[in-house]
Every structure is written in C-alpha cells, then in structure tokens.
C-alpha cells in the first residue's frame, strides 16, 4: 500500500494515543520543534494508578531522547545512579557476582517510572493531554484524514495517529493484525515499603540496585525503587492462568503465599522472605510479546512506537526503545516536507532496529530462570513490567 499524505507537519493535526513515557516524549519534542500535538489517554488523570517500578535509561537510547527533549539534566538530578548496582545471588542468598557503579557512572541510572512520567508531564504545554479518552478504533481512509473513535462516543478527525498505547494498543489494528502472545513466563510482583526500617534484612540482601537469583525452574528479581521501596518479581514458567488453575484467587494473598512457599521450599529462609514478607497483595504480570519480526506496510497517516510497535520480553529495553522511537519520529516530523515522508523515514530506521532487538530477545524471558545471567556485567537489567 503506497497512499500519499501531502499534509505538511506544520499544518497537520497530530494525535498521540497514550500518555506514557514514549507518547509524552514525542509530544514534548514536537512542541520544542514548533509543531502542534494532542495526546489522548484512557486514564481519568495522571494519578489514577501506580505507574510501576524503576527504569534504567541508557546513554545510547533513552538518554538520547531526553537530550532532544531538553530534559537530560533534570533527569540526572532526579535519577539514582547508585541503582545501577547489580547482584547475582544463589538460592541460599550468597552473592556470587556483584557490579557496583563508579561514583560518576551515568550510563544507565535508575529512575522510578512515576517520577519520569511526572517530569515529562510537566514538560508539555498545558492542555496538551486529554484525559479520560479511551480509544475504541481508528477509522477513515488510509490517505487521511483519520477518525479517532473514543469509548465515550466522541470522535476526532486527525492527519496523523501515533500509537503509543502499549501492549494492548487500539491503534495497532489500523496497520497490523498482529496481537501479543503469551511467552510462557509469568511474573508475580510483590511490594515492600519502608524497607530500611520495616524490612532491613531484605534491604541488605538487595542492596541499592537489582538482585537476581534463579535455580533453573524459578527465579526472583528484586529491585530497589525510590522512596525506600523494593519490588520483587517472582518469575516462573507456568500457564498464564496458573493461579486460577490451582483453584486459587489472585487476591487470596495468604493462599498464594502458601503455594509459593511450597515452590520455593528448598530456598533459604532469607531468600523466601522476598516472596512472603510483602506488604499487600501480589500482582500478576504474565509476559506477552509480539511476533518476531513485527512489520507492516507503510501507512502515511498511522504509525506506532514503543510496545505498540514491538512488544518484547521485559529485559531492559522497552522504555528505552519507546523513547528513542519517540525522539526519532518527532525529529522526522519536524524536518521532512510531508507527514507521509516523516513516517517513511522514521519507520525505515525503527522497524529494522526493533526487529534486530526482538530477535535477540525472542524467548529470552526464560533466561531469567537460570542460575547465571549471560554476560552478567553487561546484561540489560530485567525491566519492570
């Protein structure tokens, strides 16, 4: 399909769907480059839900986008360079490998997802985001204009739709029939609050960054967050509905905890605290991924970025690639003569890059179960779903 869209970006109605890091980064850079943009998000407001755990933004992708957005120094001021520490543990809790960052190391400092989002929210112009606008579908002819249909019954006409709406993207069907599939690996998230006072043994075990332990069949990935919090991801190769298959309800914390105690019975007592001493209920996070490769024929009025374009196992690249995508797309729109040209230029780089990375990570979620992570010193930290 090779329809044309002769609309110049400066005159185009540009719509970003999704106010996550990728969508907001794109909007910020577009505005810095003098282009108008509107962001639509299904949530009722910026504080509706917990934004998730900690992210490491890399100098060779995520930080590139922040520099283009004019936010890199603010990011460094908010980030936690000490969070780059990595520990490899055995099921007894013995540290078998450790990487401690240098005092001035800034290659991939950590920042809480909520803190990053707040930074980006503050950076866009007032009125940029339309909250409570859940997208139902994208209509209209391929050459444009497109019609956004929202779940509240309203519609918006636009010249370019940028799908930054994540794994369950409602923009993706406009360019691709692909849907994410379960990888066979599931995370169960546990939270620990006020860890230095309430969970000092766990705080000491995890350190300032990430700690990983696996026995070949199950694993624990623990990570220090800001605000004296730790999140632990209990990793298993199980059916996506493994809790209900066991006759349990996900919100029956005591019953799920008892089942986990059985599965981790041979691990040491200090390590089992990572799955039993959590504050509050567990959160199920089955891991899904898009087919590899995931590509589509060019559409001059619709494109995708981040997980909407290339959902992969959570191995430290998701947000970094989303923000890099966002920066490259925004710059293309600011420099190319037409929207169609900008989309073509952007996708000519983004699709090969994401395909190469997706091939490397295809099936790699199961590697988290192994006792030793490959190339521990250089391996991307497990991302936070």
pLDDT reported for residue 373: 64
**CA pair distance 381, 314, nearest whole angstrom:** 9
Tokens representing residue 361 in the block: 């990570």
pLDDT reported for residue 46: 87
Q: Where residue 49 falls among pLDDT bands split at 50, 70, 90?
A: confident
Q: CA–CA distance from 251 to each of 188, 236, 237, 244, 246 (Å)?
A: 12, 18, 21, 11, 13
Q: Are 361 and 318 in contact (CB under 8 A)?
A: no
Q: Where residue 315 falls among pLDDT bands split at 50, 70, 90?
A: confident
Q: What is the pLDDT of residues 141-153, one digit of tens each?
A: 999 999 999 999 9
Q: What is the pLDDT of residues 88-136, one digit of tens each?
A: 999 999 999 999 999 899 999 999 999 999 999 999 999 999 999 999 9
What 3-state class would DSSP assign to 191? strand
Q: Is the four-CA dihedral 70, 74, 78, 81 of positive or negative sign? A: positive
pTM, full prediction: 0.94
pLDDT reported for residue 3: 56
Q: What domains does the chain contain, in order, with CATH numbers?
A: 9-84+105-179+290-364 (3.50.50.60), 182-287 (3.30.9.30)
Instruction: Count CB atoms within 10 A of the CB of residue 280.
Output: 10
Quote the mean pLDDT of the chain.
93
Evaluate if residue 36 carries a pLDDT over 60. Answer: yes
Least confident of 250-264, 285-299, 361-375: 361-375
Q: What is the pLDDT of residues 275-292, one digit of tens each?
A: 999 999 999 999 999 999
Q: Are 358 and 317 in contact (CB under 8 A)?
A: no
Cβ burial, residue 90 (10 Å; 0-12/13-18/19+):
middle
Tokens representing residue 59 in the block: 């100098």
**CA pair distance 270, 324, nearest whole angstrom:** 39
Evaluate if residue 375 carries a pLDDT over 80. Answer: no
């Amino acid at each position: 399909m090779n329809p044309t869209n002769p609309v110049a970006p400066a005159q185009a109605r540009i719509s970003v769907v999704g106010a996550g890091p990728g969508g907001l980064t794109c909007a910020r850079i577009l505005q810095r480059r003098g282009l108008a943009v509107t962001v639509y998000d299904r949530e009722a407001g910026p504080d509706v839900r917990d934004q998730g755990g900690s992210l490491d933004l890399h100098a060779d992708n995520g930080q590139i986008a922040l520099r283009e957005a004019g936010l890199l120094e603010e990011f460094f001021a908010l980030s936690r360079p000490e969070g780059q520490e990595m520990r490899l543990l055995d099921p007894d809790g013995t540290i078998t490998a450790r990487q401690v960052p240098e005092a001035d190391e800034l290659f991939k400092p950590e920042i809480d997802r909520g803190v990053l989002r707040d930074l980006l929210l503050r950076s866009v112009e007032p009125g940029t985001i339309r909250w409570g606008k859940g997208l139902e579908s994208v209509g209209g002819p391929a050459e444009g204009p497109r019609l956004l249909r929202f779940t509240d019954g309203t519609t918006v006409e636009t010249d370019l739709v940028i799908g930054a709406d994540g794994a369950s993207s409602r923009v993706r069907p406009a360019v691709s029939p692909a849907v994410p599939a379960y990888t066979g690996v599931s995370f169960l998230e546990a939270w620990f609050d006020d860890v230095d006072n309430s969970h000092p043994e766990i705080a000491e075990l995890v350190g300032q960054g990430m700690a990983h332990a696996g026995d070949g069949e199950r694993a624990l990935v623990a990570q220090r967050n800001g605000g004296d919090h730790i999140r632990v991801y209990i990793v298993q190769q199980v059916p996506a509905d493994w809790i209900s298959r066991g006759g349990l309800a996900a919100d029956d914390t005591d019953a799920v905890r008892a089942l986990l105690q059985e599965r981790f019975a041979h691990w040491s007592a200090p390590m089992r605290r990572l799955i039993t001493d959590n504050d509050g209920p567990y959160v199920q996070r089955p891991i899904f991924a898009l087919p590899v490769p995931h590509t589509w024929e060019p559409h001059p009025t619709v494109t995708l970025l981040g997980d909407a374009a290339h959902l992969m196992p959570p191995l430290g690249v998701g947000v970094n690639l989303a923000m890099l995508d966002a920066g490259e797309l925004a710059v293309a729109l600011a420099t190319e003569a037409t929207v169609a040209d900008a989309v073509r230029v952007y996708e000519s780089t983004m699709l090969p890059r994401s395909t190469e990375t997706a091939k490397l990570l295809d099936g790699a979620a199961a590697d988290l179960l192994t006792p030793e992570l490959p190339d521990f010193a250089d391996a991307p930290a497990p991302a936070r779903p």
